[in-house]
Amino acid sequence: MSFLDELSFDFASLRRAYGEGLAPSALVKEVYRRLQARHGDFVWTHLVPLEQALQAARRIERLAEQAHDLPLFGLPYGVKDNIDVAGLPTSAGCTSFTYIAERTAAVVEKLEAAGAILIGKQNMDQFATGLVGIRSPAGYCRNPFNGEYIPGGSSSGSAVAVSTGQVAFSIGSDTGGSGRVPAAFNNIVGFKPTPGLVSSHGFLYCNRSFDVPPVFALTTSDALAVFNVIKGHDPRDIYSAAQAPSPAAAASDFTFGIPDRAHLTFFGDTHAEAQFRHTVDLLRELGGTLVELDFTPFAEAGRLVFGSPFIAERHVTYGAHVESGSPHVHPVVRQAIEASSRYSAADAFAAQYRLEELKQLAWRELDRAAFLLTPTAGTIYRCDEVEADPVRRNGNLGYYTYHANPLRLSAISVPAGLRQDGLPFGACLIGKPFDDLTIAAYADRLHRAVGGKLGATHHALTT
C-alpha cells in the first residue's frame, strides 16, 4: 500500500503532500484508481478521460514552475450534472435530455484558472427536483454510512464524492437545500452563499431568481478557499450581486437563535432530536446564549418554493421536455413541474409581494442573534421509505432549508456528530444576506468542537 492510498483529500493534506514532492499528475492517477475501485456506485454520470485530466495536471505543473498564482493548485473536483462544461455532456439526471455543452459555467472557468482539476460530472436528483438523491432513473448512489439510507439530494453525487474521498471538493446547485441536505447526510460541509455572490451563469436553472452554486468540502476552511475563488460579480448572470460578503465578525460571546418551540420538529426522529440538543449544548459551551426566534416567516417562505407560482421557474427550463412525453422523466419530477399550470400571472405577483413581506419579517428576527441554528434536516429516511411516500418525506427534508434562498439568506451546514444509529447529523447556521463569512467562522468553531472523522473516511478532523 502506497502513501497515496492513505492520503486524505482535505486541502491541508493535499498541500502538504505537494510540498513534499507529489505531482498533480500523480494525484490524478490516484483519483482515477479510486474511481475504478468504486465503479458502478452511480456517483458520476460522466468522467473526463484520464489523459485529458493528466493534460490539465501537467498544465498547472508548468504554470506553478512559472510562479503563477494558483490558490487551488492540484485540487481535484467535480461538478453536478446540471452545470455546463464545454465539450462534456450535461444530462440533469435525464438520459433523453442530454446534450453536449457549448459553454463553460463561470464557476468552472474560475476554478480552472485557480489550478483545480476537473474530474467529471456528478449524479443528481433529476432536474434538481428533490432533496432525497434517489430520483435518478438511470441509477442513484447510496449513503456511504448505510446503503439502505438516502444520500440526500439533489446534489447527491457531489456530496458522496467528497465524503468518500474521490475528490477534494464539489460544486452543486442549491434551490431549496440541495447544497446542505446532502452535506448533512454525508458528514461534510455544505456552504451555500448568499444568492448572487457566486455566478450561476452556465447552470441549468430550477428557480433562476434564487438558485445558488454551493460548495461541498470536508472542512469549512476548504469550502471558504473555494468560495474565495468563485465569488464575484458576473455581468452574464442577471441576478449577480455587486456587493461583497461582509467581513467575518465572530465573537467569543454571542447570541444564537433556534426555531421557537411551536416550529421545532424532528418528525418523530428521536436520534436527530438528541443530536440537535447536543449541538445546542456545545454552542453554549463555546460562549453562546440561546434565544428562540419566531420561525413563522421562514416556514411560510419555504412553502413558497413548491407550493406557489415559483414552481413555474422550473417549467421555463424543463417544461418542454416534460411535456414531450419522454419516458425517462421521473414520475414524481413530472408531477412537480406540471404543477405550475394551476397558477395564474396574478398568483405569481401575489407570491412575489408576499415574499417581500416575509423577507422583512425574517430579517428582523435575525437581527436578534448572530445566526439561526437549525437541524439541516429534521430526520433522514431509508430509500424504501422515500419510494413509498416520495412527496411528503421530501417536503419534510426541506422544512429547515427551503426558506433560505427565497429570503436571500446565507447558510452553511456542518457535521455535528454521528447519531446513536451511526448516521451523520448536520447542523445549519443561517445568517442575514452577506453574513457568509461570519456564519462560516462560527460553523468552523462548532465543527472543531464536534471533531470526529472527515466525511465517510477514516481520517480525523484536525483541530
Q: Catalytic residues, which ones?
A: 80, 154, 178
Q: At what angle do helices 24-37 and 50-65 cross, to 10 degrees?
A: 160
Q: Which amino acid is at 17?
A: A
- Give the span between the Cα atoms of 95 and 126, in whole angstroms: 10
The C-alpha R_g of the chain, in whole angstroms, comes to: 21
Q: Alpha carbon 327 to chain centroid distance? A: 28
Q: Which amino acid is at 14?
A: L
- Give the span between the Cα atoms of 9 and 132, in whole angstroms: 26
